[in-house]
Amino acid sequence: MRWCCLLILLAVAVGQPAMIAGETEDGPMEAVRIALGVEETLMAANLREYQKLILRRDETAARLASLHEALDAAVGDSKSAESGRLDLLIDQVVRVAGERDGLFASERTLLDRISDRSKRIQLLMRRVTEFEGREKEYVEKGALTGTWDLILMPVDQRGSAKLTQDGAIVTGTYELAGGWSGSLQGTLVNRKVFLVRTDSKLGRMMEFEGYLSRDDQRIRGTWLNYEISGAEGGAGQWTAERREVED
Contacts of 19 (CB under 8 A, 6+ apart): 12
Domain boundaries, the chain: 2-141, 146-242
Q: What pLDDT does residue 216 have?
A: 87
User: How confident is the prediction for the chain on average, in pLDDT?
Assistant: 82
146-242 fold: Lipocalin (2.40.128)
Per-residue confidence band for 232, with pLDDT thresholds at 50, 70 and 90? low
| Dist CA 157 CA 52 (whole Å) | 65
| Dist CA 8 CA 23 (whole Å) | 12
Q: Greater confidence, 191 or 141?
A: 191
In this prediction, residues 125-137 reach a mean pLDDT of: 74
Cβ proximity of 194 and 208 under 8 Å = yes
Q: What pLDDT does residue 242 have?
A: 95
First to last CA, the chain: 52
| Dist CA 70 CA 85 (whole Å) | 10
Q: What pLDDT does residue 22 have?
A: 35
In this prediction, residues 111-131 reach a mean pLDDT of: 89
The per-residue pLDDT for range 55-86, each reduced to its tens digit, is 999 999 999 999 999 888 888 776 766 677 88
Q: Tell me the pTM.
A: 0.48
Q: Is the pLDDT of residue 228 over 70?
A: no
Instruction: Compute the residue count for the chain.
Output: 247
The per-residue pLDDT for range 8-22, each reduced to its tens digit, is 444 444 444 333 333
The CA-atom distances, in angstroms, between 18 and each of 30, 46, 132, 247 are 14, 28, 20, 39
